[in-house]
């Protein structure tokens, strides 16, 4: 299957999805996304995100800072215990020191009551990696957040909530020797009791508070699958979000001014140390990666993916219904056999929508509407100009016959029934059927007519049959009952604004017996019956057919331009610009 049609549709919608003045603008679409269980995207609320352990050099630095702050707290608790006369206390704490717990050496960060604002403020990039599937296509779209700073949006994502920073610490024996390498010592075996708020020699300590983090350069790669669902007359389009991944690591910035912290082992003496440790925790690479992962995990969960799929499918249906008109349930054409193998189920579905559209009287692509709207050339009525009908014997004299100022009325009385349109290797082939409608205010009733002036020119030495006048004129009318023609259409262009329709072929499907020719002479003549008989000869009728075909051929390029202009106008209007 070729990818041109999907590329065309995406490119057409891409402009509108990224246009703030379009009804398809992505922030407008996403801001109302809500899962069936009531979870909204804007703002996104999450009960808890376990950011996890912050290890490596950053985690060691944070843990050491918290351990040092805890030792200040222990010292104050020891002094207080001394003042209260707690028995069996050592003289001082000089033989001891604090350290990260070797069993849990690194701090851990968790978030609760999280609110994420601004995720709906997004734009889309080009469609990438488009490839066919069994029923349609799969491609990747990059969605970039914080895309706009208008319409009340800010160019950043804001994450707020409550955090908890936990570190396990121990009291160790301080031998005065430098600790070689990264080895952590076991806790002291000396027992000390009576220090309020202290669990000697091992304690899990925690600081918690409110935080605000902003994110920039947050983008997701979204894998989409497009295909029809259902069968036969009940097919509908479907877009499925298969996966969501982080495209690149975003930059997170902690608002340190709004950061608060408290905890049972945090006092005025250690507050700033703890606050800096918390800031370092949020600004660490591990926290940034984990926060991005938690965010994408939430958005990629089945409930959100299903809702994104439903929302995008709804937007696609809205666009197709807007441009092509809605198809009543069970009315979609489904006689799809015999099309070239390069067309898959999705292309065939979209073609069936187009076939239904051209048979919808309210559609901008309804043939009578298209014909009546043409202006260069005007197609209703259609000027076929002059046609040379040849030299023929009128009585005993040979005369030159011509059809002057021929005009066709009834081209707008045109239908392209579903069964008469088919996909071809080059595009679309169709049989045009004229004169099937009863007629309306602007659409002439059948039959199709060609009217003009018939001119019979005799040589000057023709004799007395025409008296002194060597020319006979009359009102010539050709009637054709329910004629047909075949057309071949091709389509090029990156998107609907660049769409170009080619009318690669336009052939009249007429034989001479289909034409009835009548002439009403401007002045009575004894030659009228003879002239009438000659005009209804196969030779003259064929010349009329050939003349009309020649005019149509000369106008094919201009007619194609009219079709192109009409299609662009309809699509632009139906998509809201």
Question: What CATH number did the domain enclosing 566 receive?
Answer: 3.15.10.50
* Whether residue 395 is found in the same domain as residue 261: no
Asked if 294 and 250 touch (Cβ cutoff 8 Å), the reply is no
Q: Are residues 508 and 374 in the same domain?
A: yes
Residue 423 is part of which domain span?
362-575
Residue 189 located in a structural domain: yes
Task: Starting at the earlier edge strand, list the strands of the sheet with 137-145.
Answer: 122-132, 137-145, 219-229, 236-248
Q: Are 75 and 327 in contact (CB under 8 A)?
A: no
- Provide the CB-side half-sphere exposure for 376 (13 A, CA): 4
Are 371 and 410 contacting, i.e. CB atoms less than 8 angstroms apart?
A: no
- Residue 111 in any domain: the answer is yes
The helix (H) or strand (E) run that includes residue 122 is: strand 122-132
Residue 79 shares a structural domain with residue 169: yes
In a domain, 323, yes or no: no
Question: Do residues 65 and 200 share a domain?
Answer: yes
Q: Quote the pLDDT of residue 459.
A: 84
407 contacts: CB under 8 Å, gap ≥ 6: 381, 382, 383, 384, 450, 451, 452
Element of type H or E holding 297: helix 285-299
pLDDT at 337: 81
Same domain, 44 and 106: yes
Question: Within its chain, how far is the Cα of 160 from the centroid?
Answer: 31
Other residues' Cβ atoms within 10 Å of the Cβ of residue 177: 6
Residues 6+ apart with CB under 8 A from 199: none
Q: Is residue 430 part of a domain?
A: yes
413 and 550 in a single domain? The answer is yes
**Rounded-to-integer distance, Cα 371 and Cα 573, Å:** 18
Asked if 223 contacts 241 with a C-beta cutoff of 8 angstroms, the reply is: yes
- E strand or H helix that includes residue 164: strand 157-173
Q: Nearest-CA neighbor of 531 among 510, 513, 517? A: 517
CA distances to 66, 164, 173, 211, 277 from 260, in Å: 16, 11, 33, 7, 12
Asked if 106 contacts 66 with a C-beta cutoff of 8 angstroms, the reply is no
Clarify whether residues 380 and 242 are in a common domain. no
- What are the C-alpha distances in Å from 372 to residues 140, 438, 445? 42, 16, 14
Quick check: is 534 in a domain?
yes
Is residue 3 in some structural domain?
Answer: yes
- Verify that 422 and 544 share a domain, yes or no: yes
- Quote the number of domains for the chain: 2
Q: Which of 318, 333, 350 is the last residue of a domain?
A: 318
- pLDDT reported for residue 180: 47
Backbone angles phi, psi at 311, to 5 degrees: -65, -45
Instruction: Give the three-class secondary structure for 87.
Output: coil
**Residue 284 and residue 376 in one domain:** no
Q: Check whether residue 410 and residue 539 sit in a common domain.
A: yes
pLDDT attached to residue 466: 47
Residues 451 and 556 in one domain: yes
Would you give the DSSP letter of residue 328? P
310 and 380 share one domain:
no
Whole-angstrom Cα distance, residue 41 to residue 157? 12
How far is residue 215 from each of residues 9, 49, 209, 212, measured CA to CA in Å?
Answer: 32, 16, 20, 10
Given a contact cutoff of 8 angstroms between Cβ atoms, the answer to whether 564 and 501 are in contact is yes
The sign of the dihedral angle between the CA atoms of 401, 451, 416, 433 is negative
Contact residues for 362 (Cβ-Cβ < 8 A; gap 6+): 325
pLDDT per position in the chain (577 positions), as tens?
A: 468 999 999 999 999 999 999 999 999 999 999 999 999 999 999 999 999 999 999 999 999 999 999 999 999 999 999 999 999 999 999 999 999 999 999 999 999 999 999 999 999 999 999 999 999 999 999 999 999 999 999 999 999 999 999 999 999 999 876 554 468 999 999 999 999 999 999 999 999 999 999 999 999 999 999 999 999 999 999 999 999 999 988 999 999 999 999 999 999 999 999 999 999 999 999 999 999 999 999 999 999 999 999 999 999 999 999 999 999 888 999 887 889 999 999 999 999 999 999 999 999 999 999 999 999 999 999 999 999 999 999 988 999 999 999 999 999 999 999 999 999 999 999 999 999 999 888 999 999 999 999 999 998 754 444 444 589 999 999 999 999 999 999 999 999 999 999 999 999 999 999 999 999 999 999 999 999 999 999 999 999 999 999 999 999 999 999 999 999 999 999 999 7
Q: Write the DSSP assignment of 189-221 as a string of letters.
A: -------TT--SSEEEEEEEEEEEEEEES-EEE
C-alpha to C-alpha distance for 501 and 488, rounded to whole angstroms: 10
- CA–CA separation, 124 and 139 (whole Å): 13
* pLDDT, position 462: 46
DSSP assignment, residue 132?
E
Contact 77, 195 (CB under 8 A): yes
Q: What is the pLDDT of residue 175?
A: 80
Domain end, chosen from 283, 301, 318, is at: 318
Residue-by-residue DSSP string for 20-46 = TTSTT-HHHHHTT-B-TTS-BSTTEEE
SS3 171: strand
Torsion 123-129-130-136 (CA) sign: negative
> Has residue 512 been placed in a domain?
yes
Residue 464: the pLDDT is 43
Could you tell me if residue 457 is inside a domain?
yes
pTM: 0.90
3-state DSSP call for residue 523? coil
Last residue of a domain, one of 285, 303, 318: 318
């Amino acid at each position: 299957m070729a990818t041109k049609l999907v590329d065309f549709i995406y490119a057409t919608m891409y402009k509108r999805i990224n246009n703030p003045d379009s009804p398809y603008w992505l922030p407008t679409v996403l801001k109302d996304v809500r899962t069936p269980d009531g979870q909204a995207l804007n703002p996104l609320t999450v009960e808890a995100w376990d950011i996890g352990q912050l290890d490596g050099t950053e985690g060691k630095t944070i843990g050491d800072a918290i351990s040092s702050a805890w030792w200040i707290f222990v010292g104050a608790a020891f002094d207080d215990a001394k003042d209260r006369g707690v028995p069996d206390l050592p003289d001082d704490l000089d033989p001891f020191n604090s350290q990260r717990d070797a069993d849990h050496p690194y701090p851990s960060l968790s978030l609760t009551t999280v609110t994420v604002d601004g995720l709906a403020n997004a734009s889309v990039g080009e469609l990438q990696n488009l490839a066919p599937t069994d029923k349609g296509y799969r491609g990747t779209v990059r969605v970039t957040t914080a895309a706009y700073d208008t319409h009340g949006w800010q160019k950043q994502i804001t994450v707020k909530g409550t955090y908890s920073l936990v570190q396990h610490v121990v009291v160790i024996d301080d031998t005065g020797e430098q600790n070689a390498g990264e080895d952590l010592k076991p806790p002291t075996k000396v027992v000390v009791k009576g220090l309020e708020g202290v669990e000697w020699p091992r304690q899990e300590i925690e600081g918690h508070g409110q935080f605000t983090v902003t994110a920039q350069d947050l983008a997701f790669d979204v894998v989409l699958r497009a295909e029809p669902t259902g069968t036969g007359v009940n097919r509908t389009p479907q877009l499925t979000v298969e996966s969501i991944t982080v495209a690149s690591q975003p930059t997170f910035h902690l608002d340190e001014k709004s950061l608060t912290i408290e905890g049972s082992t945090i006092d005025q003496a250690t507050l700033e140390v703890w606050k800096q440790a918390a800031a370092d925790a949020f600004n660490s690479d591990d926290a940034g990666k984990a926060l991005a992962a938690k965010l994408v995990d939430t958005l990629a969960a089945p409930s959100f993916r299903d809702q994104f799929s439903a929302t995008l499918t709804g937007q696609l249906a809205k666009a197709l219904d807007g441009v092509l008109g809605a198809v009543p349930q069970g009315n979609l054409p489904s006689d799809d056999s015999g099309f070239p193998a390069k067309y898959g189920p999705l292309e065939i579905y979209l073609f069936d929508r187009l076939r239904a559209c051209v048979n919808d009287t309210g559609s901008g692509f309804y043939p009578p509407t298209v014909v009546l709207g043409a202006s260069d050339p005007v197609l209703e009525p259609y000027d076929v100009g002059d046609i040379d009908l040849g030299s023929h014997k009128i009585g005993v004299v040979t005369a030159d016959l011509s059809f002057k100022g021929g005009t066709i009325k009834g081209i707008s009385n045109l239908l392209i029934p579903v069964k008469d349109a088919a996909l071809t290797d080059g595009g679309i082939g169709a049989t045009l059927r004229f004169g099937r409608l009863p007629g309306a205010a602007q659409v002439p009733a059948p039959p199709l007519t060609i009217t003009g002036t018939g001119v019979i020119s005799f040589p000057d030495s023709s004799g007395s049959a025409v008296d002194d006048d060597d020319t006979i004129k009359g009102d010539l009318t050709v009637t054709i009952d329910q004629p047909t023609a075949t057309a071949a259409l091709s389509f090029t262009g990156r998107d609907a604004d660049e769409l170009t329709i080619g009318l690669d072929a336009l052939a009249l499907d007429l034989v001479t017996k289909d034409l009835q020719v009548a002439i009403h002479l401007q002045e009575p003549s004894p030659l009228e019956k003879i002239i009438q008989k000659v005009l209804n000869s196969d030779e003259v009728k064929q010349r009329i057919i050939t003349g009309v075909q020649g005019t149509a051929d000369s106008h094919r390029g201009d007619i194609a331009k009219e079709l192109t202009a009409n299609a662009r106008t309809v699509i632009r209007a139906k998509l809201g610009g």
